[in-house]
Amino acid sequence: MALAAEVSVERGDFSLSVVLEVAAGECLGLVGPSGAGKSTLLEALAGLVPEARGTIRLAGRELSKLGTHERRIGLLRQEPALFPHLSVAENLSYARPGRGLEPAQAMAARLGLGALLDARPAGLSGGQRQRVALGRLLLSDPDVLLLDEPFEGLEPPLRRELSELVLEELAARQLPAVAVAHHLDEVQALSGEIALLEHGQVLQVGPAAEIVRAPASVKVAELLGYRTFLPGTRAGECIGVHPGRARLGSHLELGVPVAGRLMTCRPSGARWLVELEVGEDGGRLAVELDSVPAAPGEVLGVTLLDPPRFGPDGRAIR
């Protein structure tokens, strides 16, 4: 079942207007800074924003005409919001009252919580509480999953594990989902398609790798982690520099070679984050490299891999 929505919200000076489509079994990632309207959009889809207008359709049903509980939309937030007086088993069973403990026990085993069925939320770690919340949501048999930064603050291995579980459920149940994050890398594990949101407006939609390679504007590039914009060959034009899209040495066939004086370098995961001083005005750019065959103060050459170019109006030059 596919989700199609056209939603608008007016709250004082804030205005949100979004059109989105999510295929069955897929997850759309919403990325944008604080105040962009990401959580507001999820709440509007779930029927929690009374000011929301528009249409929300799912498998022939118009959800926008239904009440919150009738929409069968599951919303998972960063705060698990478990019932503190109930055990893990009881919290899980709450999603399926009258069906006994068997579904809760099966879900707990799948989430690695089989030994904690009698534990209360206060005795669980943050990751365990979030697993219980996710399990309760899945047991409620929603038709749509909305994920509002639910794995924020968890250790990377646990985030990957829970993301994989969500993807398995989406594929098995053929559910659409929308996931929210501040940064692209936080939502890429879940989403193939990404929507960049700012000030209540969608700036660009597409596969994450494609958007990073070809942002539609300087604003989109900045949201995606482009840190530096070098002057282009024509007046008013500029070239975007993404730290992860660079290679050591001069490779004209791959992009734009740049040489600069090595200022600093420090480990960045399995690579090195290198800062170069380029141009007569002493501008700085930062790129990630596999190795750094130079000492501070020496000139180092790198190639910016097929960098995007932007015109005086800030829009990409195709």
- What are the angstrom distances between the C-alpha of 295 and each of 203, 261, 298? 41, 9, 6
- Over the stretch 39-94, which tens digit does the pLDDT of each residue have? 999 999 999 988 889 999 988 888 888 888 888 899 998 888 899 999 999 999 98
Residue 32 corresponds to which amino acid? Answer: G
Virtual torsion, Cα 38, 40, 44, 48, nearest 10 deg:
140
Distance (Å) of CA 104 to CA 68, 138, 302 = 24, 10, 55
Mean pLDDT of 188-213: 92
Q: What is the CATH number of domain 3-213?
A: 3.40.50.300
Please tell me the CATH superfamily of domain 218-310, with its number: Nucleic acid-binding proteins (2.40.50.140)
Q: Alpha-carbon torsion 246, 247, 253, 257, what sign?
A: positive
pLDDT tens for 104-125 read 999 999 888 999 999 999 999 9
Q: Where are the domains of the chain?
A: 3-213, 218-310
3-state secondary structure of 192: coil
